Amino acid sequence: MERRYFDYAATTPVDPGVLEEMLPYFKDSFGNPSSIYSYGREAKKAVEEARSKIANLIGADSKEIFFTAGGSEADNWAIKGIAMKLKDKGNHIITSKIEHHAVLHVCQYLEKHGFEVTYLPVDENGFINLKDLKNSITNKTILISIMFANNEIGTIQPVKEIGEIAKEHNIYFHTDAVQALGNTKINVNDMNIDLMSMSSHKIYGPKGVGALYIKKGVKIDPFIHGGAQERRKRAGTENVPGIVGFGKAAEIASNSLEEHIKRTVKLRDKLITGILENIDYVRLNGDPIKRLPGNVNVSIEFVEGEALLLNLDMIGVSASSGSACTSGSLDPSHVLLAIGLPHEIAHGSLRLTIGRYTKEKDIDYVIEELPKIVDKLRAMSPLYEKVKGGDK
C-alpha cells in the first residue's frame, strides 16, 4: 500500500541532503567540539557553520542562536529562564490559551511556584486581541509568550504588533516559532522578538535538536547547567550531527522559502475546497488566510476523530486529530475549545498537514476517499440518525 503522509506538523522526514551532511559526524569527525585537538576543531567548525545558517533563516546574528534538544526544551528554557532571572522584578507572565503544551504546562508549573499567568483568550479564528494584551500588562509583567503560528489550526498571530507592544512596555517577548519556522518569513529584528523557539524535525532536519534565539542583551538563566558549551548558556556535549543536520535544513528552507510557500498554499487550498465541497456538516478551523501554508484543520460532525484517523491509516493516509480519544485525556484539544467549538464537534476534528513531499495526486486521493470514510462512520453514528431524520 502506498503511504501518504499528511502529518507534517507532527514531524517531517529528514531531507536526503540533510542526512548526507550529518553522516560524517557520527563516525569520522566524531570529536567533541570542546576539545582543542583537530578532531574537536572540525566538529566545532561544523557547529558554528550550522549556527550561522539558522541565524540567517531568521535574520539574527550567529551569537544569538543557542542549540537545544528541541522545541520543548527551547520553550521551557525561555520561560523558566526568564522567570527565574527576573523573579525579583516581577512575577507576571502573559500567554495565550492556545499555546503548545510546552508553553502552557510550563506556565502552569510556574503558577504553583509563585508566578501569576494571564492566559489570553482567542477569537473564533484563533487570534489574540491586541487590546486584551495591552490591558493585561501590569507593572509585574516580565514576559509575554505568544506563539508565532498554531500547530493545530495554523493561525498566524500578528507577531510584529505583539513585539511592538512588548517593546513599548519594556517587557521581553518570547514566541514559539516551532511551526512557523521555514513556513513563513521571519525576521526577529523587524518583529521585535527577544526569544524564539525552534525545532529541527519540523523543517526536514533530524529529531532531538532545536534552538532558542536569544536577542543580544536579554538576561536569562541557563536551563541546563554544567559545562561551558553554548557560551556557558546551555551545557551538554553538543549533538554535532544533529546540529549539522538542523543547519542544513535551515539552509534549504532559506533558499526555497517563497517557492515552498507558494506550492504548499496551492495544494492546501485545493484540499480545503475539496473537503468543504464534498462533505456535509463540516467546518474549517483557523483563519482561512492568515494560516500556515501546509495546515488544513476541519471539524466533521457526528464522527469521532480517532475512528477517522484509523480508517485513514488503513488506506495509507497518516493524519492527526484533536479528539480526546487520541490524546488519552478526557478533554478534546484545548485549542479547539478555545476557538469556541463545542466538545462534540471538537471530537470530530481532523488535521491534515502537507509539506515538501506531498504530491497533487495525494491531495486528490484524500478528496476522493475521505467522504467515503465519513459516510461509513456516520452510518454507524447514533448522532447522525437524527440529522438524517430531519429532527436536528
Partner 1 sequence: MYSDKVMDHFANPRNVGEIPDANGVAQVGNAKCGDIMKMYLKVEDNIIKDIKFKTFGCAGAISTSSIATEMIKGKTLEEAEKLTNKAVIEALDGLPDEKIHCSVLAEQAIKAAIDDYRKKNNQ
Ligand X SMILES: Cc1ncc(COP(=O)(O)O)c(C=O)c1O
Residues 350-379 that bind partner 1 (CB under 8 A): 379
From 4, 51, 100, 291, residue interacting with ligand X (rule: CB under 6 A): 100
Q: How far is the CB of 160 from its own copies (least distance, A)?
A: 26
C-alpha cell at 348: 470530530
Under the criterion CB under 6 A, does residue 383 sit at the interface with ligand FES? no
Residue 324 site contact among its own copies, ligand FES, ligand X, none (CB < 5 to 8 Å, cut-off depends on kind): ligand FES
Query: Of 390, 381, 385, 386, which Cα lies nearest the Cα of 347?
Result: 381
Question: Which element (helix H / strand E) includes 62?
Answer: none
Number of residues that bind partner 1 (CB under 8 A): 28
C-alpha cell at 45: 567548525
C-alpha cell at 194: 527577544
Alpha-carbon span 93 to 211, nearest angstrom: 22
Q: How far is the CB of 324 from ligand FES (least distance, A)?
A: 6
Q: How far is the CB of 31 from ligand X (least distance, A)?
A: 13
Q: How far is the CB of 280 from its own copies (least distance, A)?
A: 25
Under the criterion CB under 6 A, does residue 146 sit at the interface with ligand X? no
Q: Is 363 helix (H, G, I), strand (E, B) or coil?
A: helix
Nearer to its own copies, 125 or 327 (CB): 327
Alpha-carbon span 19 to 252, nearest angstrom: 12
CB 103 within 8 A of CB 145: yes
Q: Name residues whose C-beta falls within 8 Å of residue 91's C-beta, 6 or more positions apart in sequence.
A: 83, 114, 115, 116, 140, 142
Under the criterion CB under 6 A, does residue 319 sit at the interface with ligand X? no
From 12, 72, 76, 239, residue interacting with ligand X (rule: CB under 6 A): 72
CB 271 within 8 A of CB 284: no
Query: 390's torsion region: left (phi>0), alpha (psi -120 to 50) or beta?
Result: left
8-state DSSP, 128: P
From 129, 187, 189, 237, residue interacting with ligand X (rule: CB under 6 A): 237
CA dihedral 178, 179, 183, 186 (to 10 degrees): -50
Query: 84's torsion region: left (phi>0), alpha (psi -120 to 50) or beta?
Result: alpha
Q: How far is the CB of 380 from ligand FES (least distance, A)?
A: 13
Which residues does the annotation place in the binding site? 71-72, 151, 179, 199-201, 237, 325
Under the criterion CB under 6 A, does residue 178 sit at the interface with ligand X? yes
From 33, 70, 286, 305, residue interacting with ligand X (rule: CB under 6 A): 70
C-alpha cell at 88: 525579583
Residue 176 site contact among ligand X, partner 1, its own copies, none (CB < 5 to 8 Å, cut-off depends on kind): ligand X
Query: 283's torsion region: left (phi>0), alpha (psi -120 to 50) or beta?
Result: beta
Under the criterion CB under 8 A, does residue 31 sit at the interface with partner 1? no
Q: How far is the CB of 392 from its own copies (least distance, A)?
A: 30
Of the candidates 130, 325, 337, 383, the residue annotated as catalytic is 325
Under the criterion CB under 8 A, does residue 33 sit at the interface with partner 1? no
Q: Which residue is nearest to ligand FES (CB)?
A: 325
Under the criterion CB under 8 A, does residue 63 sit at the interface with partner 1? no
Alpha-carbon span 345 to 377, nearest angstrom: 15
From 324, 338, 366, 367, residue interacting with ligand FES (rule: CB under 6 A): 324
107 carries an active-site annotation: no
Q: Which of residues 193-222 bind ligand X (CB under 6 A)?
A: 199, 201, 210
Q: How far is the CB of 325 from partner 1 (least distance, A)?
A: 4
For residue 35, give the amino acid letter.
S
Piece in contact with ligand X (CB under 6 A), picked from 37-45, 67-75, 133-141, 384-392 = 67-75
Cα 120 versus chain centre, distance: 18
Alpha-carbon span 64 to 212, nearest angstrom: 8
From 325, 337, 383, 387, residue interacting with ligand FES (rule: CB under 6 A): 325
Piece in contact with partner 1 (CB under 8 A), picked from 73-81, 119-127, 131-139, 323-331 = 323-331
Which residues does the annotation place in the binding site for pyridoxal 5'-phosphate? 71-72, 151, 179, 199-201, 237
Under the criterion CB under 8 A, does residue 344 sit at the interface with partner 1? yes
Alpha-carbon span 45 to 92, nearest angstrom: 40
Alpha-carbon span 150 to 156, nearest angstrom: 7
C-alpha cell at 269: 487550498
Q: Would you please indicate which residues are annotated as catalytic (active-site) residues?
A: 325
Binding site for ligand FES (CB under 6 A): 324-325
